[in-house]
């Protein structure tokens, strides 16, 4: 098991975290947002946070911190003038990935910076598999992994249950100067079942399942109840030798060992690594940001 520090960003930095919040810079703008794992004290005084920040998001409800859930609404308080949306970039090899950011009502802004470590891994393995290799991105959100795979030469299918998020991901593709990603507003589990029945195969599969979610027709997704079945189906979709799988888990109750045990039930890896992502703040705090598993068959 390994711990990976997400790095390589110029347009992003974690400034400080604690008191169930984090303060981050996205391009020119500094935001304060909820962070349920930051149970320790802030290193910087509260007055410094307020002096530095452009805006702060506070949730209306303090239940579970879902990765993506419309019912987790809240509100922004503004301290300094800033736009409702703006763009940041990430240099992936010789390609500049572009991300449009928005101040959403649920507190997310459109990018998860720790995922840059997975974008590197995806691009590397797509290049090894060859131009035109097929990659499936499930629970794909605004498309960072899809952009990384497409930029490296993959034929990408991007699946998410929320239509406006698909639209957002398409904007990111266009901003990056890419084209021809296949967009599907679908329930991930239903889609994967159909792909297995069709006999489809993919050289790469990327999964980013939330703890809880809803499909476009109201289908209920609960990680603990559905994850094992999803992995069994994804194992059938992998093309075999030289194919790869990337799994992210954000549920606070799911360790990387759980993900590894489920995946091992269905796949034998030639190479595998699993563990935890973290970001290092300017103030020296290591903020954990979910677990991962990456393997090659």
Contact 264, 131 (CB under 8 A): no
Show me where the domains of the chain are located: 7-87, 109-296
Contact 30, 15 (CB under 8 A): yes
State the number of CA atoms in the 13 A half-sphere of 51 facing the CB. Answer: 5
Contact 98, 109 (CB under 8 A): no
Q: What is the pTM of this model?
A: 0.92
What phi and psi values does residue 63 have, to the nearest 5 degrees? -90, -130
What is the homologous superfamily of the domain 109-296 according to CATH?
Vaccinia Virus protein VP39 (3.40.50.150)
Question: Is the four-CA dihedral 49, 52, 58, 64 of positive or negative sign?
Answer: negative
Q: Based on C-alpha coordinates, what's the Rg of the chain?
A: 19
What phi and psi values does residue 244 have, to the nearest 5 degrees? -140, 160
Taking only the tens place, the pLDDT of each residue in 149-181 is: 999 999 999 999 999 999 999 999 999 999 999
Taking only the tens place, the pLDDT of each residue in 8-38 is: 899 999 999 999 999 999 999 999 999 999 9
pLDDT at 62 over 60: no
What is 7-87's CATH number? 2.60.40.1180
State the Cα–Cα distance between residues 169 and 189, nearest whole angstrom. 20
Query: Of the given ranges (65-79, 80-94, 129-143), which has the lowest mean pLDDT?
Result: 65-79
């Amino acid at each position: 098991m390994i711990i990976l520090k997400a790095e390589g960003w110029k347009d992003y930095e974690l400034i400080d975290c604690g008191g169930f919040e984090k303060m981050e810079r996205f391009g020119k703008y500094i935001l304060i947002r909820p962070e349920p794992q930051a149970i320790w004290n802030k290193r910087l005084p509260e007055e410094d946070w307020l002096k530095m920040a452009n805006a702060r998001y506070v949730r209306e409800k303090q239940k579970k911190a879902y990765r993506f859930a419309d019912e987790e609404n809240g509100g922004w308080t503004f301290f300094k003038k800033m736009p409702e949306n703006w763009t940041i970039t990430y240099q992936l090899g010789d390609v500049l990935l572009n991300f449009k950011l928005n101040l959403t009502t649920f507190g997310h802004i459109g990018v998860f910076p720790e995922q840059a470590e997975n974008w590197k891994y995806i691009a590397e393995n797509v290049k090894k598999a060859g131009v035109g290799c097929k990659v499936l991105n499930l629970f794909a959100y605004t498309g960072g992994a899809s952009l990384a795979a497409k930029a490296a030469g993959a034929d990408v299918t991007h699946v998410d249950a929320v239509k406006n998020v698909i639209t957002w991901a398409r904007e990111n593709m266009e901003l990056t100067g890419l084209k021809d990603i296949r967009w599907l507003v679908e329930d991930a589990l239903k889609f994967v079942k159909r792909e297995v029945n069709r006999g489809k195969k993919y050289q790469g599969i990327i999964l980013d399942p939330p703890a809880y979610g809803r499909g476009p027709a109201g289908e209920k997704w609960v990680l603990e109840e559905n994850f094992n079945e999803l992995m069994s189906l994804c194992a059938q979709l992998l093309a075999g030798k030289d194919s790869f799988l990337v799994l992210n888990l954000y549920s606070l109750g799911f360790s990387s060992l759980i993900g590894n045990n489920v995946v091992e039930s269905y796949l034998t890896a030639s190479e595998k690594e699993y563990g935890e992502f973290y970001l290092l703040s300017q103030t020296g705090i290591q903020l954990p940001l979910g677990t991962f598993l990456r393997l090659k068959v």
